[in-house]
Each structure stands twice: as C-alpha cells, then as structure tokens.
C-alpha cells in the first residue's frame, strides 16, 4: 500500500493558493487537471467563490479532492472553500486532513482569513507547513515575516529555505540544511535552473543569510507534528520556485493518516474494519438528476468497491457500488481505497454531513459539529402552492451545509439560519435556479439559536413555557430561538439543568 498524505492549503484570497495547487499537480504529473482548478483572470474576480463553484459544478467534484502521486507517495489535496462566509464548510474539510500548507503573500504577511483558518487547524492540532509566496516580487523582509508568523500565531518558526534577495534582486532559494542555492534562469529569471551546490552568496545578502542560518532553532519533527512549530519555505508559486521543497517536506515530515476521534476513543488507521466519516455533501451536481455526492474520509480498513457500509444516520447498510475515487491516473487502484483517501459516494439524500460509516455500525466519529447560526431569517414564498418544493429544497440545502433550517412549533413560516450573509444570496439564487421556487427572506424576530440539551422531561417543561421560541431542526431536535444573546444567558440561569449549546454534533 502506497503511503498517504492527506492535506489542505489554507490562505487569504489572492495569496496564491490556486497557483500553488496547480504547480503541485504539475509536479505530481496530474497535468490535465492544472489550469482547471479555477477560472482565471477577470471572470474569476467578477464572482464570489461560491458562485464560481456553482458555475463550474462540472469540475467542482474533481477539484474538491485532487489526488496525485510522487515518488511512490499518494497525495490527497482537499480544496477548502475560499470565502470566509463558509467557515463551517471549511472547518469540516479541515477535520478530514492530516496536515496543511499555509500560503502567505510575502508583501502582506498574515492576513485575516489566514489567521482564522489557522485557528481552525490549531483546534485539531493540524500541523502546518508555511509557504511564503511571491518572492519574485518585492516583499517584506524575511525576518519580519518570520516574526509575524511567530507572534501572531504563537508558533515556533523554523526556516527551511531562505530567499537570496527578492523581486528584481532575486538570486535564488537557499536550502539552509545543505547550503545549496536553486538559481533562477532564463531571459527574465522566469524559471529555476540549476542547483548550485557550491554557491557563493552575493555580499549584500551574506550577512542576512548567515543570521538566518544561526538565528533559529533546528527543525523538530515532533514539535511540527504536534502543531507547535511550523517549518517555513520561501518561493514563488507562479514561477515554480521552491514548490518542490514544499511537497518534499510534506512527503518527509507531514504525518501519514492519523487516528480519528470517536465516541469509543481514537480509531487507528490500522484497524481492519472499514470506517469513515462524511465531511461534505454536494447536491445537484447535475440539475437533471437530483443526485448528490457525499465525501467520505476513509479512517480505517481497505475499502473495496461494492462494499456494504452502515451510515450512523440511517442504521441499515448501503452498498457502495459506484464510489467516485480521485485517482485520475491509475485505473487499477481505483477499485480500492486506503485510510486517508477520500471517496465520493453518490446517493439520494441518505448520507449527511457528520455521518459515520462502518462495516459493523459500531463506530461514531466525533468533532464534526454544526455551529449556531448568527443570522436568522423567515422564508416567504411568492407562490404558496410551492410549499412542498420549498421544504424539499431547504432540506437539501441544509444537508449540504449551506443553511440550517428550523421548523417553529407555532406558525408555518420556517426559519433559516446562516453563519454569514453570503449564504443568504446563495440560498435565494439556488432556490430559483435549481428548484424553481420564488422566495424572499424576511427578518425573523430572533437573534440566535441554541440546541437545548438535557433530560427529556425538563426540555418538555421548558418548551411548554416558551412555545413561541421553540423549533425543531431537521433531526427533530429541540432548538431555542432566542431574541437576544442576553435571552440565552437569562434562560440558562433559570434552567441550570439544561444546556443551551452553540454546537451540535450528529
């Protein structure tokens, strides 16, 4: 079985995630994919990330997971949705990786979205390799960038390579361990040429390079894998400088598939029983067929096509006859998958985000929460005879994690909840385009939602007093729709036996 590295790239928009992804795929020989990763140029900027994904649904399956091989190692690169409004979706994708590359623009340093995504990685101790991109342009001082990563993210930093000059004075990338320099060549230094093992550093950079060599602690693989230290690489994704260093670092240092947390303790990848969890669902890939793809991270066992697995949400086994595997290159191994791999399972709504799948239906993975929405709206139908279609659409979209739906105990207007404003635009446009439902959103008299947990009797009692604020979510679990955050605190104080939770795990 080939070794696996399952990872994601996190960055602020425009730092170079797409460009780096393409170069990584090129390195791995998956050339036909490069260039398809995203639409480029103007067309790209005209739309939000999500709309763009909408537009390109045809390729979005393949770009959700990109698998390539290099030196006998299989790399699974998971795409993280770029827009900050989809933090929930991104969070879940990051639960499915074993490590991440953090791309930073050398002129900008740590930007807000980089930081947010980093925090998500930290929650799960996902180890990070840092790539400081765009050294072919004038950027900030490398030392300053190193300090910023260390200070803002509270991480130990260890430079693995160092740029000899930047922008117009770029002389190459120095490998700090070996002392060799990869030099740019060509008319305008547009590609990396020979590796200069006997390099002399131009005088103006000599002192800086010397300081870099002695000024930092040595790389410690355990500290890196524990998420306490980040090795830092410099380069240019656009010009393919320093990209192989990064992929080699993933191959050498990044952890192989890690055990995953479950109710009964961590599940080791070496366990024989096949198990995995759904971290993402994508509906309506093809508008003609109401199909959807559930993305499962395989945690243990060797998966074989046609195998029967039981989803925790369903309780009875399903046969996985036509899984989508992402080995574009090698048909032979497409019939099996190993821990760390991602399998796309076509289904008609039976599989949901957070579901655990296993052969014996005895494993429940944890840590894939829903988050309490911060924006609540009522949905108003233009044509009241479309109620059934609306319900179906809301069910579908909540399954995908685009929105959450709450069905109030009193009244007939459903309340939808989102974490960010953009999701509302997506909702309305998808209702119209995919379900032919003309709907609008109205303010709801609620500010936030909390899952009510505790003794059933106590919950019933509480609900009895607060009918106008009670709703059920898709799983029929009780939800308290609060008028204000203060209201939540008040109720919590009055009902110490109940928990008003901001997250819910399936």
Binding site, annotated residues: 11-18, 79-83, 133-136
SS3 state at 358 = strand
Task: Say if residues 451 and 478 touch (Cβ distance below 8 Å).
Answer: yes
Instruction: Pull the structure tokens for residue 223.
Output: 């500290």
Q: How far apart are the first and last CA of the chain?
A: 32
Q: Is 79 in the site for ligand G4P (CB under 6 A)?
A: no
Please work out, in degrees rounded to the nearest 5, the angle formed at the alpha carbon of residue 350 by the alpha carbons of 345 and 356.
Answer: 70
Instruction: Pull the structure tokens for residue 13.
Output: 């928009």
The CA distance from 62 to 60, in Å, is 5
Q: How far is the CB of 13 from ligand G4P (least distance, A)?
A: 4
Q: Is 238 in the site for ligand G4P (CB under 6 A)?
A: yes
Q: Is 80 in the site for ligand G4P (CB under 6 A)?
A: no
Size of the site for ligand G4P (CB under 6 A): 17
SS3 state at 296 = strand
Task: Give the number of other Cβ atoms within 10 Å of residue 294's Cβ.
Answer: 25
Among 133, 275, 300, 469, which residue sits at the site for ligand G4P (rule: CB under 6 A)? 133
Q: Is 172 in the site for ligand G4P (CB under 6 A)?
A: no
Among 13, 165, 167, 367, which residue sits at the site for ligand G4P (rule: CB under 6 A)? 13
Q: Is 11 in the site for ligand G4P (CB under 6 A)?
A: yes
SS3 state at 167 = helix
The CA distance from 213 to 208, in Å, is 9
Closest CA to 242 of 228, 252, 251, 232: 232
Q: Is 15 in the site for ligand G4P (CB under 6 A)?
A: yes
Q: How far is the CB of 145 from ligand G4P (least distance, A)?
A: 14
Q: Is 494 in the site for ligand G4P (CB under 6 A)?
A: no
Residue list 268-307, contact with ligand G4P (CB under 6 A): none
Task: Say if residues 235 and 241 touch (Cβ distance below 8 Å).
Answer: yes
| Structure-token match 């991270």, residue found | 297
- What residues are paired with 294 via a beta bridge? 281, 345
Give the residue ranges of DSSP H helices in 232-331. 243-253
Biggest CA-to-CA distance, the chain: 80
Residue 69 main-chain phi, psi, to 5 deg: -120, 150
| Structure-token match 């036996």, residue found | 497
Q: Half-sphere exposure (CA, 13 Å, Cβ side) for 332?
A: 1
Q: How far is the CB of 135 from ligand G4P (least distance, A)?
A: 7
Instruction: Pull the structure tokens for residue 354.
Output: 């957070």
Among 5, 17, 225, 280, which residue sits at the site for ligand G4P (rule: CB under 6 A)? 17
Nearer to ligand G4P, 28 or 373 (CB): 28
Among 236, 310, 347, 356, which residue sits at the site for ligand G4P (rule: CB under 6 A)? 236
Q: Is 165 in the site for ligand G4P (CB under 6 A)?
A: no
The CA distance from 330 to 345, in Å, is 19
Q: Indicate the annotated binding residues for GTP.
A: 11-18, 79-83, 133-136
Stretch that binds ligand G4P, among 17-25, 338-346, 358-366, 497-505 (CB under 6 A): 17-25
Nearer to ligand G4P, 110 or 337 (CB): 110
Nearer to ligand G4P, 5 or 134 (CB): 134
Nearer to ligand G4P, 41 or 443 (CB): 41
Q: How far is the CB of 232 from ligand G4P (least distance, A)?
A: 15
The CA distance from 172 to 185, in Å, is 9
Q: How far is the CB of 247 from ligand G4P (least distance, A)?
A: 15
Residue list 329-388, contact with ligand G4P (CB under 6 A): none
Nearer to ligand G4P, 138 or 151 (CB): 138
Q: How far is the CB of 82 from ligand G4P (least distance, A)?
A: 6
Among 79, 98, 136, 473, which residue sits at the site for ligand G4P (rule: CB under 6 A)? 136
Nearer to ligand G4P, 44 or 289 (CB): 44
Nearer to ligand G4P, 189 or 392 (CB): 189
Q: Half-sphere exposure (CA, 13 Å, Cβ side) for 121?
A: 32
Distances (CA, A) of 312 to 93, 97, 280: 19, 21, 15
Nearer to ligand G4P, 41 or 72 (CB): 41
Residue list 28-47, contact with ligand G4P (CB under 6 A): 40-41
Q: How far is the CB of 317 from ligand G4P (least distance, A)?
A: 40
| Binding stretches for ligand G4P (CB under 6 A) | 11, 13-19, 40-41, 133-134, 136-137, 236-238
């Amino acid at each position: 079985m080939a070794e696996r590295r399952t990872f994601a790239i996190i960055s602020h928009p425009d730092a170079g995630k797409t460009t780096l992804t393409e170069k990584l795929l090129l390195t791995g020989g998956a050339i036909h994919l490069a260039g398809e990763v995203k639409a480029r140029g103007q067309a790209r900027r005209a739309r939000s990330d999500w709309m763009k994904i909408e537009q390109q649904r045809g390729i979005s399956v393949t770009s959700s997971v990109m698998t390539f091989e290099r030196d006998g190692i299989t790399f699974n690169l998971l795409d993280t949705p770029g827009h900050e409004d989809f933090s929930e979706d991104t969070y879940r994708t990051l639960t499915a990786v074993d490590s991440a590359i953090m791309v930073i623009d050398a002129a900008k340093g740590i930007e807000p979205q980089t930081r947010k995504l980093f925090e998500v990685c930290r929650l799960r101790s996902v180890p990070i390799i840092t790539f400081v991109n765009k050294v072919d342009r004038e950027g900030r001082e490398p030392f300053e960038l190193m300090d910023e990563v260390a200070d803002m993210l509270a991480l130990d930093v260890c430079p693995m390579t160092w740029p000899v000059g930047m922008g117009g004075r770029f002389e190459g990338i120095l490998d700090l361990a070996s002392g060799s320099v990869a030099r740019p060549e060509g008319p305008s230094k547009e590609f990396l040429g020979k590796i200069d093992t006997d390099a002399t550093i131009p005088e103006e950079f000599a002192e800086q390079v010397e300081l870099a060599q002695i000024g930092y602690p040595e790389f410690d693989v355990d500290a890196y894998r524990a998420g306490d230290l980040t090795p830092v690489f410099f380069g240019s994704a656009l010009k393919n400088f320093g990209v192989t260093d990064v992929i080699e670092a993933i191959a050498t240092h990044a952890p192989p598939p890690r055990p995953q947390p479950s109710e009964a303790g961590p599940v080791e990848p070496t366990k024989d029983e096949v198990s995995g969890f759904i971290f993402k669902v994508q509906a309506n890939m093809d508008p003609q067929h109401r199909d959807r793809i559930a993305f499962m991270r395989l945690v243990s066992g060797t998966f074989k096509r046609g195998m029967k697995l039981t989803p925790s949400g369903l309780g009875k086994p399903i046969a996985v006859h036509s899984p989508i595997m992402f080995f574009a290159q090698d048909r032979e191994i497409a019939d099996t998958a190993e821990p760390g791999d991602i399998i796309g399972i076509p289904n008609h709504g039976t599989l949901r985000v957070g579901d655990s799948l296993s052969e014996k239906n005895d494993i429940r993975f944890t840590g894939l929460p829903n988050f309490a929405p911060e924006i609540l709206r009522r949905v108003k139908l233009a044509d009241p005879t479309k109620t059934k279609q609306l319900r179906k659409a809301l069910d579908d979209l909540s399954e995908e994690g685009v929105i959450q739906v709450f069905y109030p105990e009193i009244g007939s207007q459903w309340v939808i909840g989102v974490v960010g404003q953009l999701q509302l635009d997506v909702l309305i446009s998808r209702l119209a385009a995919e379900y032919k439902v003309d709907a609008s959103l109205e303010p709801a008299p609620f500010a936030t939602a909390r899952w009510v947990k505790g003794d059933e009797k106590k919950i019933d009692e509480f609900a009895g007093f607060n009918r106008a604020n009670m709703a059920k979510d898709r799983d029929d679990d009780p939800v308290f729709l609060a008028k204000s955050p203060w209201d939540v605190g008040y109720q919590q104080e009055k009902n110490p036996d109940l928990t008003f939770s901001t997250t819910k795990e399936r």
